[in-house]
Amino acid sequence: TRETDSRATGSPSRWEKALKWIGPEKGVVHLATAAVLNAVWDLWAKQEGKPLWKLLVDMDPRTLLSCIDFRYITDVLTEEEAFEILQKGQVGKKEREEQMLVQGYPAYTTSCAWLGYSDDTLKQLCTEALKDGWTRFKVKVGADLQDDIRRCRLIRNTIGPEKTLMMDANQRWDVPEAVEWMSKLAEFKPLWIEEPTSPDDILGHAAISKALVPLGIGVATGEQCHNRVIFKQLLQAKALQFLQIDSCRLGSVNENLSVLLMAKKFEIPVCPHAGGVGLCELVQHLIIFDFISVSASLTNRMCEYVDHLHEHFKYPVVIEKASYMPPKDAGYSTEMKEDSVKKHQYPDGEVWKKLLAARGN
């Protein structure tokens, strides 16, 4: 009706206003927006016959910038500043693209050291990963300090002093607790502590970051970051040393582009969050584009990899020598196998039928 149609009235409908109460630019509305727009990018790349990373790399800087909403971030990054970054990124771009095609983008593994694994399992998985060429490992911490010390010692002894170790607390601690806990784990030389406290606590992350500088430990966060505005403030407050974009939490490729450019201005390395169902498939495109066209650096940069559920995708990631090899198929690597979709479709899919039947019993 005209009452609820903003196109007819020229002003926001009552439904659009209502949606803002569960947003704006956060929560379920933002996640749904990301899903739709990521699908549009997938279609665009397929139409051009290119993988998404290549579509972005080949795009004229002005065209690329037309895809970005600079609202709320111009105090940190203007469109002209972003244009200058992309122009500088043209230098050596061809060589960096060739480097990616040959060497791939460095990855780290999170699959070896989940909480709850036995010591034998930790040692076995880390040893197998070393044989497969992995040099960067992430361990989950935060449940029990003495257990963390024991597990981190076991992992560090297994992988050796020269390999890179990161830690992830998954929002476990208050600010003082995070500083105290990490001071006890500093002996294991972690590169970063990820999500040490509430992901919404920008000043808390800044306080932790400042306290951990003397210990040589950085702060990493971003997988729960709602939007570019929160990332802007994290950068302004010097609250992180490693920025972790998420391909589905932010408003699709569009918003991720703005964050990549802000990170470049602040010279903060981007180390994307991945794992889950398809996040590895998606985010590889963004970080390969970042190296070729924006950051032009691999210093302290790596992309998370979790060996989980890739069998459901038509174009799963390809890992060689612990690196993401650039996708060659057209699109955003988002397409799932028809059989997987059919089995998991709610409520008539085979998987859901079994779950619902079990619950009924």
Q: Which entry of 205, 232, 264, 273 is annotated as an active-site residue?
A: 273
Place of tokens 């903003």: 6
Active site residue 210: no
Q: Which entry of 30, 50, 54, 140 is annotated as an active-site residue?
A: 140
Question: Is residue 103 a contact partner of residue 324, using CB atoms and an 8 Å limit?
Answer: no
> The tokens of 196 are what?
């040490």
Question: Is residue 308 a contact partner of residue 275, using CB atoms and an 8 Å limit?
Answer: yes
Active site residue 140: yes
Torsion angles phi and psi, residue 305, rounded to 5: -135, 130
Distance separating alpha carbons of residues 169 and 142, to the nearest angstrom: 5
Distance separating alpha carbons of residues 228 and 246, to the nearest angstrom: 11
Q: How far is CA 233 from CA 111, 206, 226, in A?
A: 31, 10, 12
> The tokens of 339 are what?
């059989």
> Would you say how long the chain is, in residues?
361
Distance separating alpha carbons of residues 320 and 4, to the nearest angstrom: 53
Catalytically annotated residues: 140, 273
